[in-house]
Structure 1
Amino acid sequence: MKDGIHPNYRDVCFVDLSNGFKFVTRSCAPTKETIKLDDGREVPLFKLETTSESHPFYTGQQKSVDTLGGRVEKFRNKFARVGIKK
């Protein structure tokens, strides 16, 4: 393998800002901050807006989106008064 073309993978702590959930995995994500873990290690910190712990799809709190039929009905109701003149 060629030297210098592979990313620098290392342990990185990802933190969910919405609920404080933390997990450590190997990554090459760019970081500026570090965090000290419970086991005493100091690892780079990467802050996330949402993870599987807070995303509505994974937590089961997802709201149902209006189906295609509902959108068509809204369109028909909105433009029904315009209609085609005979």
Structure 2
Amino acid sequence: MQQDKHPDYHSVVFRDRAAGCAFLTRSTASSDETIDWDDGETYPVVDVEISSESHPFYTGKARTVDSEGRVARFERRYGGGSGQG
């Protein structure tokens, strides 16, 4: 295997500003800013605008699309969907 081919993979804290939470994971992302974590170690911190803690899909606050109205409008416009071509 060739040396120095892969990026540096290390522990990083990602801080979600929208939800006000942070989580420790491993990543190739880097930052000059650091944070003291619960285990007493200091890790680089990367601020993100959205994560699974604040994304509408994961929090259950996603908008549902009114597909029934669209189907009814299609059937009114193009017939009742009786299979006639």
- Output the TM-score relative to the length of structure 2: 0.74
**2:66 maps to 1:32:** no
**2:23 maps to 1:23:** yes
Aligned structure 1 segments of 4 or more residues deviating by more than 2 angstroms: none
Q: CA offsets, 1:56-75, max 9 Å, x none? A: 100111111354x63xx5xx
Contact kept? 2:12, 2:30, Cα under 8 Å: no
Contact kept? 2:16, 2:22, Cα under 8 Å: yes
User: Which structure 1 residue ranges, 5 or more long, are not aligned?
Assistant: 74-86
> Residue type of the partner of 2:58?
Y
- Output the TM-score relative to the length of structure 1: 0.73
> Residue type of the partner of 1:64?
T
User: Which structure 2 residue ranges, 5 or more long, are not aligned?
Assistant: 74-85
Percent of aligned positions with the same letter in both sequences? 47
CA distance in 2 between counterparts of 1:21 and 1:65 reads: 30
Alignment partner, residue 79 of structure 1: none
**2:10 maps to 1:10:** yes
Contact kept? 2:14, 2:47, Cα under 8 Å: yes
1:1-86 superposed matches below 5 A: 1-67=1-67, 70=70
> Residue type of the partner of 2:17?
L
